[in-house]
Amino acid sequence: MNGSVLIYGTNKDLRREKTLEMVNKILKSKFEYLDLYKKPDFLFLKPEEEKKSIGISQAREAITFLSQKPFELKNKFLIVLEAEKLTTQAQNALLKTLEEPPSYANIILTSKLQNSLLETVVSRCRQIFAKGENEQQNDLEPLKKVIKMSLGERLDFAQEIAKEEKEDVVDILENWISEERKRMIGAPNNLNHAKNIRKIIQIKNDLENTNVNPRLSLETLLLGLSEN
């Protein structure tokens, strides 16, 4: 089962689980996720320290890596974490390899959203939505529950989610944005949905691009959300 795959979904842990499941199926193995980092036939691409993107130099490194035959296993694996952070130049550099990888090569892109990559990249990959057994792609209830909380409950909730890793908090906010967009489509005359989306996007951008205090930002957001 060689080739190129795009695993997408806003839950980082589920993307990782699906990646490991696919690797073990191909290799007929029982590796744990951290085992993969120790194997010379695996290359993980992610943004370099102090950089917010995966650049063309990393893409070229990946192409060179895949051009060399496996060292230890029967297959080689390129796993691109946060593939949505590939620059346009990096994505274009990978197109030929995505379309025609070596016979022993497997390329796995993981991304929060299916449409966050160039169409030319997506079209060259088999696409898999990462979801849990009881999870439905459109079942996004958390924000609806938050909006029904009292102000005190919202502050307590903000304190709890502020303890999560920044990337996980961003995942939560992206789920909320998706949830509100679906509600906005169903009730286009309700302006509260659009107001909530703008507030969530602002906080998400602040968390991703500045050194704001996560707890204070989340408290401000949750206290400012409008009931639908």
d(CA 142, CA 169): 13
pLDDT for residue 1: 53
Which of 3.40.50.2300, 3.40.50.2000, 3.40.50.300, 2.20.25.90 would CATH assign to domain 3-129? 3.40.50.300
pLDDT in tens, 149-176: 889 988 988 888 888 778 778 878 888 8
Three-state SS at 44 = strand
Contact by Cβ (8 Å): 110, 83 = yes
Give the single-character DSSP code of 84.
G
pLDDT for residue 143: 84
Contacts within 8 Å (CB) and 24+ apart, 28-36: 36/77, 36/79
pTM of the predicted model as reported, rounded to 2 decimal places: 0.64
Q: To the nearest whole number, what is the mean pLDDT of the chain? A: 88
Contact by Cβ (8 Å): 171, 11 = yes
pLDDT in tens, 60-116: 999 999 999 999 999 999 999 999 999 999 999 999 999 999 999 999 999 988 788
- Tell me: pLDDT of 193 over 70: yes
Domain parsing of the chain, residue ranges: 3-129, 142-224
pLDDT in tens, 106-153: 999 999 887 889 999 999 999 998 876 544 444 434 788 888 888 998
Tokens of 206: 């602040």
Q: How far is CA 202 from CA 44, 170, 212, 221, in A?
A: 31, 11, 12, 9
Residue 91: CB partners within 8 Å, gap ≥ 6? 59, 117, 118, 120, 121
